[in-house]
Structures are given as structure tokens and as C-alpha cells.
Chain A
Amino acid sequence: MPDLEPPDRPPEQDFGPSDEELDAWILARLGALGVDLSVLPEDDEDAPADRRSILASARRFLRSTPAAIADFELDPLGPPPAMYPSEMTGWTDE
């Protein structure tokens, strides 16, 4: 049998969680919130969304976004969080 690459798994992240591990984490997280994906069809190209594509998108998201943000180091004494950064420029008026 050929040794196939698992789907949606970048080769350079062989150390990362497998698709199955990520799916378990995703479903556990959603389940804890009461969000139920089981109402979606399992695998249906004609459906607006199916479990297969939603989980694939979620795995792709988890393999890219958290690590990219975590990799960008910020000085703890640097900028604080600002949900409205541009508005803060208007607070300079005495």
C-alpha cells in the first residue's frame, strides 16, 4: 500500500496533531458550547455545508492561525490590547 499523506496536513507539520485528533478537539470544544454539527449531512457536495467541509475548514484554520499569531512575539511591556485602536487617537483632546 502506498504511504499516503493524510488530507489537509501540511508536510512540514508532521509533529502536529492528526486530522482525527483535531476533529476530536473541535467537536469537544463545540459540544462544550452546545453547538451541534451532527445536524449537517456527513458528506454532501450539494449541501450548503456538510460536516466534512466544515471540519476540513476548521482544521485548516487551527493549523494556520493560532500558531502564526503565537509566533509573532510582542514585548509584554509593549502595546496593550485595543479593540478600537483608531478611536484611541481621538482621546488626546483635553
Chain B
Amino acid sequence: MTRRMLERRGFLERMTALTATAVLAPGSVLARAGARGAPAAVPGWDLPEPGEIQATDPVELTVVEAAALIRRGELSPVDLVRAYLDRIERLDATYRAFNTVTAERALADARRLAGAPGRLPLRGIPLAIKDNFFTAGVPTTANSLIFRDFIPAYDATAWARLGAAGGVLLGKTQMGPLATTAATTPEGVPTTVNAWSPADRRAGPGGSSSGSATAVAGRLAAAATGTQTGGSITSPSNAQGLTGIKPTMGRVSLHGIIPLTYTRDHVGPLARDARDAAVLLQAMAGPDPADPRTLGLPPVPDYVAAVRPDGRAARAVSGGRLRVGVLPGFVDEPEREPEEDVEADDPAARDRTRRERVRGRATAAARRQLLVRLEELGAEIVEIAPPRDWEILTSREFNNVRLPERSEIFLEELRTDVRRFGVSLSPWINGLLLPAAEFVRGQRARLLLLQRVLEEVFTRCDVVMQTEPFPFDMIGLPLIAFPIGFEETSVGVPRPIGTLLGAPPYEEDRLLALVAEYQRTTDWHARRPAEPGTFEAPGGVDRVGEPGAPYRLDVFDVMKLGE
């Protein structure tokens, strides 16, 4: 019996006897708490060899490729960082990926790292860090009026570990306000664009890690960090053709990251491929005494080994020992709406409906091709039924159980001036209104949902395709997002199509291994958007958007969109 099966069976047996709850209480949201995380140890692992490197432009190199060239002395960290800074200077006015660019510090760090002794896996690698991560001496705003003038005194543990591994801070990325929705102004006007279609506001960047995704996709950073409470790593990754991983709850420390929901916030990388995602996760993961959520968990596996082509994890895929579960409807095309159901007098609604239908068909086709390719790689595709009560336990109403946590975190700010929340206010107000009995029932429902996922899904498959991030976000299970195709849009710009794959607790290595195998035989992840300004909308129009007034989120949009 494998160790993984022992963990799962033991857990289920314990749940029948368990009567107590464990509530972990991290420290204060603001720097006045003064707590610092564990000093980041210099990691003792090496990156995989990249194989043949075809890119000639430094910004086209993946993390693994750039690190290899730097290690061999064929690329200078200073030249690499300078290439990214030049690109940021030229293009970020269009992409709007960054809140703060730390150009001088980045170059200084690159010079220091160029001559630094020792093995540093990420020596000189330019990284973009989401603006809810504390970065000592660098403004950290979470795109919120509340943190407008905040400069933390210490680094978030996750960023400190990337820095200790040799990573260079290029800057802090734009994000949805307080890690909700996508990047907007406090009034709800979208800012960061999708790197694939900067002139088309209808194709959003995804959120809330919008700037992180745009920076990586737009070649303004080699890789980036994000956080996820309700899709905020995986959604922008899928929107922009990236590989993003949200690990198991507690796998990466949340110390020094402005919280949104203590029990659902996760930290992870947004990268160009599974190898890069594995490398960043390896650097960040592990116990941190400053975050009790990371303590007492199974050891961090070797993610880098998991993505090696000759590794044991890869052989498990090709040897037919990996079962990929597929829920009903995963490859179905959207049902065609009767014409009379679409408002005849609303051209914008008709256009939106038509575009959603086109995208739905393209997504269904890409998913079918994905399953065929996974079978060719040796995986077994298993159709599985959703667990009992899946629809209600993963409904919007049960998802709303997360809201009181954010209201508690920001209670002082709500009592001071609600206007500081801008357009994002409604979820914070609604979180103050959920009665305690329903909140407790919601926490019981989370455990029930996890029990059923383990008993009814992961006894029949090893990993499972997902169409939405919320269920696995609710119960803290790992998810990986990766590109599986493109939609050729009506305006002639390719739009990435991605998917989600979930796994049991602490099995991020299995997710990374499967996606790495898939990416060895496909090239969706290797494609990159056209440079801004090379796209011309039909009719020579400079910007494509909804007819009428400029689009702006309202309070109802904020309640519907995730984090």
C-alpha cells in the first residue's frame, strides 16, 4: 500500500472519531504586528537541464533555460534584468502589469548575484511579485486605498525564499483590489489588459493575479507569484496561456501576505510551463514557524524531479498507472440558446451571447483533443460521477461562507470609512451579515465535501479535470492550470484556452508531472502573444470594446466574480 493511500485511509478513519475542531489564527494583517518569518535557507537543489535552447532573445527564455545559461556563464544576470527592464519601460504603459517597478534595486541585485558564490538555483532570474506580498522597503498596496501608503518592514516568507534562491525583484504587479476580481481602479474601471489582446477589453486578463499573468505572458518577467482564494492564480493563467499552480493549503507560507480569507488563501507561481512552475514552487514551499498553517504537514516532495522526462513521475504517466478523472459535461458544447431568449433589442447582449457560444465550442474541442493526447501519453481516462450533493456543496451560497473572514480581517477599516473599499465594498458588507449558525454549518459542509471528494472521486482516479476552481479552493486541494489550445476570435487575435486539473492533498508533484509530459508533446505553452501595436482591429479602430459607455464593474459584478 502506498504512502498516499495510507494518508487518505487514515484521515477518513480519524474523521469518524474526531469531535474537536482546530482553528489556526495567523497574525495581524498589518506590519504593526511586527512578526517576521523564518529566515529563508539557501536551497540545495538544482534546476533540471533545459535541453536544446532555441530562444535568442533573453526575454523569451524560460526560467529553467535562463538559469542554465547563467550557470554556464553564457548569460549575465545584469543583461537579463536589463532586457526585462527595457521591455517594461517600452510596453508597460500598454500592459499596465506593474504597480511599482524596482529598476535600480533589480540591477543592483543582478550585479551582486553575478559575482555571488555558491549554488543559487534562481540566480539572476527576474521575477514579478503580486502586490499583496510584503517586500521590505517597497510599497505594498494590494491595489487598495487602505494600503496606499504602506511600506512593509520585512519580506513575505514566500518572496524571501525566492530571493534567497537568487530571484531578482523586478517589481510589484497590479492586482484586483485586496485580491478580489481583476485589476481595476477603486471605481471599478479595468486597468491591466490581457497580453494577448491589449486592444480588446472584452478579453480580460483574469484575476486577481492580473498583473502577474500579464507580466509573464507579455514577457515583462520570467515568472511571477500569485495568490488564490477563488481562482486568482488559475483563472489568469488560463486567460493568458500560462501554467499556474495553486498548491494544497499550507504548502506555501502565507506569512507576510495581506490576507483575504485565512482558510482559503493559497500562494503559487504563474509561469510559462510546468518546469518553471515546479522550480518556483520548490523554492517557496515548506514549513514556516511564522505561519502555523504550514506546520506538521507531509514533507515537500521533489517537484523538480517530478517534471524530469526520465523521472519516476513521468514513467507513472507513460506506464499507464495514472488515471485521469473526467466529470460529466467536460467535453460538451454549450447548448444553443433559442433566438427568442436573447434580448433582440440589446446588441451588446446578443454579441456577448454569440461570443460565449463560439468560445464554448472552441473550449469543448480543445478539451476533447486534450483527452486524446493524454491517452496517447499513457494515461487512463476515467469517467466519474460527481460526488453526492456536489452541486449544492459547491454552489454560490456555500462559497459565500468565506465572506465573514474578510469582514473580520478588515473590521477596523470598515468601521473607519467604508469608502476606502471602493467598488469592492459589497462582499465585505455581506460578510458581516451571515449568521454564526450558517457559518458553522458551512465549515461542516467543507469537511463533508472533502470527505466525499476523497471517497467518491479519488478512489476512482488519481487526478481529476475541473471546470471551475471554486470547489477545490473551498477544500484546499491542489489545482494546476495549463493551456490546451487557442480560440481564433472574430477580430483575428488568438485567445488562449486553458483547463484545470486537481489532485488529492499534497500531490502537486503528480499534477506537475502530468502537465510536464503533456507539454513535452504540445506547444500551446510555448506560444506567445504578438507585440502590442502590431494588432489592428477591423475597420482600423484603435480599441475594441462594448458599444456605449466604457465598461466598469459594479457592486453586483464584484459579488459574482472570484478571487
Contacts and interface: CB of A to CB of B under 8 A. Distances in A.
B261 to A, nearest CB: 10
Given A49-B425, A69-B397, A81-B440, A87 B14 contact: no
A45 B561 CA distance: 20
B7 A82 contact: no
8 contacts: A26-B433, A65-B400, A69-B442, A83-B21, A83-B22, A83-B446, A85-B450, A87-B250
A86 interface: yes
A83 B23 contact: yes
B429 A57 contact: yes
A68 B21 contact: no
Contacts of B400: 61, 65
Interface string B1-32: 00000111011001100111111100000000
A66 interface: yes
B349 interface: no
Given A82-B21, A83-B21, A86-B475, 5 more contacts: A48-B419, A70-B437, A80-B444, A83-B22, A83-B443
Given A30-B429, A72-B441, A80-B447, A86 B434 contact: no
A84 B418 contact: no
Nearest to A81: B443
B477 interface: yes
B303 interface: no
A79 B446 CA distance: 9
A52 B438 CA distance: 26
Interface string B121-165: 000000000000000000000000000000000000000000000
Contacts of B442: 69
Contacts of B364: none
B7 A83 contact: no
Given A53-B556, A78-B444, A79-B15, A69 B401 contact: yes
A88 B19 CA distance: 13
A66 B187 contact: no
A30 B411 CA distance: 11
A49 B8 CA distance: 46
A72 to B, nearest CB: 6
Contacts of B20: 80
A72 B443 CA distance: 13
List the 7 closest pairs (A to B, CB-CB), nearest first: A92-B10, A86-B476, A81-B443, A68-B397, A82-B447, A79-B447, A48-B423
A83 B22 CA distance: 7
Given A53-B556, A74-B441, A86-B505, A58 B297 contact: no
A24 B450 CA distance: 38
A89 B7 contact: yes
A79 B298 contact: no
B417 interface: yes
A52 B167 CA distance: 47
A90 B247 CA distance: 14
Given A35-B418, A49-B425, A89-B8, A82 B443 contact: yes
B298 A93 contact: yes
B518 interface: no
Size category of the B interface is 35 or more
Interface string A1-30: 000000000000000000000000010011
A49 B410 CA distance: 18
B23 A49 contact: no
Contacts of A82: 21-22, 443-444, 446-447, 450
A87 B450 CA distance: 11
Interface string B34-64: 0000000000000000000000000000000
Interface string B415-453: 101110111011001101111011011111111111100
A64 B397 contact: yes
Interface string B184-195: 001110000000
A40 B419 contact: yes
A34 B445 contact: no
A10 to B, nearest CB: 14
B451 A49 contact: no
A64 B433 CA distance: 12
Contact of B432 (A30, A83, A92): A30
A92 B6 contact: yes
B248 A66 contact: no
B432 A33 contact: yes
Interface in A33-81: 33-37, 39-40, 48-49, 53-54, 56-58, 60-62, 64-66, 68-70, 72, 74, 78-81
Contact of B11 (A34, A62, A89): A89
Given A68-B398, A74-B445, A80 B392 contact: no
A35 B425 CA distance: 12
B187 A84 contact: no
B477 A86 contact: yes
Interface string B276-310: 00000000000000000100111000000000000
Contacts of A40: 418-419
A87 to B, nearest CB: 5
A37 B441 CA distance: 29
B522 interface: no
B555 interface: yes
B115 to A, nearest CB: 41
B445 to A, nearest CB: 7
A81 to B, nearest CB: 4
A37 B417 CA distance: 9
A65 B440 contact: no
Contacts of A80: 18-21, 444, 447
Contacts of B297: 87, 90
Contacts of B451: 79
Contact of A70 (B14, B414, B438): B438
A64 B399 CA distance: 12
A53 B475 contact: no
